[in-house]
């Protein structure tokens, strides 16, 4: 069971004003469990995603882009080693408007003692359980409405779209059985169609040429789902590991006129997204994002090596062992490794399986990813011994500079904190009593969400 689901904002749409002099708009798109090898543009022969294919061709593509974590919740963090901590009031302080669902684990039969997935409009639950097959259509519709609203204003905007696609279980709405890649391909087409409609709306309202669009994924693919999971391409293992397949993800940036299409092999991370957007918006950060770098010199001024190194943490981090791995330029060193059931307990590579327990490498593994991206050939030359020393020094620097947050998972579960439509979570019979009645549901893809009062950005 993927224990991180209870912490995760599974699908998020948030919108608010950007503060800047040059007045760009920002659209940040995050796919879920989309692996490096899952897109047609990265070589998958049956992944049809025409909107992303066109966007990719007109974008700066990052070939060495890493998620902050190999599972969902901590991949949304700002600082390395620090699990994302959030609450509904936290979000209302950060954004003017948001629409989201907060999922509970559901495998096989969905009534497993947890409440149904609620759909929030700001702090109000407007549907519970959420109709997942048409959820993306609702997000798309709301996003387009907000684009139309902002087209009438001089204020630039920041929009964050975190899709549930292509996470398992897959819901494809109108694209069911449309792809030759099966349910995964159907879900990819559903997300792609949504992205295409939103880009078309930006173009129709003459906003596209002044909008920076960044697309990436939260982590590598869930290989345990086999053909219904994703693909890491040539990279080793997948989700929930610090091997390349768990952390290296597709990423590309579209910013017409300002950024020329092409490819960059420079190192970058989701940790860099926030400081980059803040810099372009001329905003002085009130948040510690010291583990991230402003990437704008890379794509605006063609500077090299904005980031030289990156620390990689396990998904159940303990201070004594972290970080598990260090990437430095085109080299990567593993100090600890372990497999995961999310990378498939039937994987032909034993290092990926959960039976591969945490292993300390007294002589750290080291790979030259420029010639060995699959991490197969541990370097043993005299030069590699010197490089191991440099990697260990980098690791110690990261260890000294990471602030550790209290474990959210260690706090346990509290039924009274469960999202419950229109009534407290003390109701009976729990959890069925938390579901909305039919009149309170929000089921039509074309229904507009209730009007929401604007919440100003907090101090």
Examine the pLDDT at 21 and tell me if it is beyond 80. Answer: no
Among 257, 312, 355, residue whose Cα is nearest residue 64: 312
Name the band, by pLDDT with cuts 50, 70 and 90, for residue 322: very high
- In this prediction, residue 372 carries a pLDDT of 98
Is pLDDT of 441 > 60? no
What would the mean pLDDT of 125-151 be, rounded to a whole number?
Answer: 90
Q: Which pLDDT value is given to residue 105?
A: 45
Report the range of poorest mean pLDDT among 85-99, 257-271, 359-373, 391-405.
85-99
Please give the C-alpha separations between residue 186 and each of 57, 193, 363, 398, in angstroms, as whole numbers: 22, 11, 45, 41
- Percentage of the chain beyond pLDDT 70 is 81
At residue 454, the pLDDT reads 28
What is the pLDDT, as a whole number, of residue 136? Answer: 92
391 CB burial (10 A radius; 0-12, 13-18, 19+): buried
If one counts every other C-beta atom within 10 angstroms of the C-beta of residue 363, the result is 11
3 state SS for the chain: CCHHHHHCCCEEEEEEECCCCCCCEEEEEEECCCCCCCCHHHCCCCCCCHHHHHHHHCCEEEEEEECCCCCCCHHHCCCCCCCCCCCHHHHHHHCCEEEEECCCCCCCCCCCCCCCCCEEECCEEEECCCCHHHHHHHHHHHHHHHHHHHHCCCCCEEEEEECCCCCCCCCCHHHCCCCCCHHHHHHHHHHHHHHHHHHHHHHHCCCHHHEEEEEEECCCCCHHHHHHCCCCCCCCCCCCCCCHHHHECCEEEECCCCCCCEEEEEEEEHHHHHHHHHHHCCCCCCCCCCCCCCCHHHHHCCCCCCCCEEEECCCCCCCCCCCCEEEECCEEEEEEECCCHHHCCCCCCHHHCCCCCCEEEEEEEEEECCCCCCCCCCCCCHHHHHHHHHHHHHHHHHHHHCCCCCCCHHHCCCHHHCCCCCCCCCCCCCCHHHCCCHHHCCCCCCCCCCCCCCCCCCC
Q: Is the pLDDT of residue 189 over 90?
A: yes
Mean pLDDT (the chain, rounded): 83
pLDDT in the model for residue 431? 86
Tokens encoding 1: 């069971």
- pTM as predicted: 0.88
pLDDT for residue 283: 80
Higher pLDDT, 77 or 133: 133
Ramachandran area for residue 85 (φ above 0: left; ψ -120 to 50: alpha; else beta): beta
Measured CA to CA, the distance from residue 368 to residue 362 in angstroms comes to 19
At which residue do the structure tokens 């469960």 appear?
418
**pLDDT number for residue 108:** 37
Residue of 406, 410, 399 lying closest to 320 (CA atoms)? 399
pLDDT at 330 over 80: yes
The winner for highest mean pLDDT among 169-178, 262-271, 427-436 is: 262-271
Residue 97 is predicted with a pLDDT of 66
Question: Confidence class of residue 112 from pLDDT cuts 50, 70 and 90?
Answer: low
* 126 contacts 448 by C-beta, under 8 angstroms: no
pLDDT higher at 171 or 442: 171
Q: Tell me what pLDDT residue 116 has.
A: 86
Residue with tokens 């090596």: 305
446: its two tokens: 């074309």
pLDDT at 286 over 50: yes
- Among the ranges given (2-6, 126-130, 136-140), the one the predictor scored with the smallest mean pLDDT: 2-6
Range 96-108 average pLDDT = 57
**Least reliable range by pLDDT among 36-45, 127-136, 222-231:** 127-136
pLDDT given at position 412: 81
**Per-residue model confidence as pLDDT tens digits over 370-384:** 999 999 999 999 889
Provide the 10 A C-beta neighbour count for residue 54: 16
pLDDT band at 450 (very low <50, low <70, confident <90, very high): very low
- Token output for 284: 């002085």
All structural domains of the chain: 25-307 (3.40.720.10), 325-401 (3.30.1120.10)
Q: Rounded to an integer, what distance in angstroms lies between the CA atom of residue 29 and that of residue 83?
A: 21
Report the Cα 163 to chain-centroid distance in Å: 9
Q: What is the pLDDT of residues 29-84, one digit of tens each?
A: 999 999 999 999 999 999 999 999 999 999 999 999 999 999 987 777 655 544 33
pLDDT confidence of residue 77: 63
């Amino acid at each position: 069971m993927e224990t991180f689901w209870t912490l995760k904002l599974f699908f998020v749409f948030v919108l608010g004003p950007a503060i800047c002099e040059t007045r760009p708009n920002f659209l940040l798109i995050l796919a879920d469990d989309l692996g490096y090898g899952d897109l047609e543009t990265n070589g998958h022969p049956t992944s049809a995603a025409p909107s992303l294919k066109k966007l990719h061709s007109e974008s700066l593509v990052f070939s060495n882009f890493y998620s902050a974590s190999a599972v969902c919740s901590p991949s949304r963090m700002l600082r390395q080693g620090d699990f994302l901590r959030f609450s509904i009031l936290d979000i209302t302080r950060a954004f003017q408007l948001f629409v989201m669902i907060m999922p509970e684990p559901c495998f096989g039969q969905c009534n497993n003692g947890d409440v149904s997935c609620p759909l929030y409009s700001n702090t109000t639950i407007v549907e519970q359980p959420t109709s997942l097959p048409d959820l993306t259509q609702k997000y798309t519709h709301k996003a387009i409405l907000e684009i139309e609203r902002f087209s009438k204003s001089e204020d630039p905007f920041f929009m964050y779209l975190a899709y549930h696609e292509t996470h398992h279980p897959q819901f494809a709405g109108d694209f069911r059985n449309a792809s030759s890649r099966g349910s995964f391909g159907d879900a990819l087409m559903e997300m792609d169609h949504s992205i295409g409609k939103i880009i078309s709306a930006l173009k129709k309202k003459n906003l596209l040429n002044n909008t920076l669009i960044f697309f990436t994924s939260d982590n590598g693919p869930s290989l345990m789902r086999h053909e219904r999971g994703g693909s890491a391409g040539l990279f080793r293992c997948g989700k929930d590991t610090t091997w390349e397949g768990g952390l290296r993800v597709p990423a590309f940036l579209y910013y017409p006129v300002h950024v020329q299409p092409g490819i960059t092999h420079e190192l970058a991370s989701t940790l860099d997204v926030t400081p980059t957007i803040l810099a372009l918006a001329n905003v002085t950060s009130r948040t510690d994002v010291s583990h991230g770098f402003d990437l704008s010199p890379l794509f605006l001024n063609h500077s090299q090596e904005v980031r030289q190194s990156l620390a990689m943490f396990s998904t159940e981090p303990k201070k004594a062992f972290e970080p598990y791995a260090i990437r430095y330029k085109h080299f990567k060193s593993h100090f600890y490794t372990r497999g995961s059931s999310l990378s498939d307990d039937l994987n032909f590579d034993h290092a990926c399986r959960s039976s591969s327990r945490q292993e300390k490498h007294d002589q750290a593994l080291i790979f030259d990813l420029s010639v060995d991206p699959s991490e197969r050939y541990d370097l043993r030359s005299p030069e590699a011994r010197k490089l191991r020393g440099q990697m260990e020094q980098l690791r110690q620097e990261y260890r000294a500079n990471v602030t550790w947050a209290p474990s959210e998972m260690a706090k346990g579960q509290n039924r009274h904190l469960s999202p419950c439509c229109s009534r407290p979570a003390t109701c009976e019979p729990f959890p069925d009593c938390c579901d909305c009645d039919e009149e309170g549901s929000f089921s039509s893809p074309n229904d507009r969400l209730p009007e929401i009062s604007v919440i100003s950005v907090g101090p």
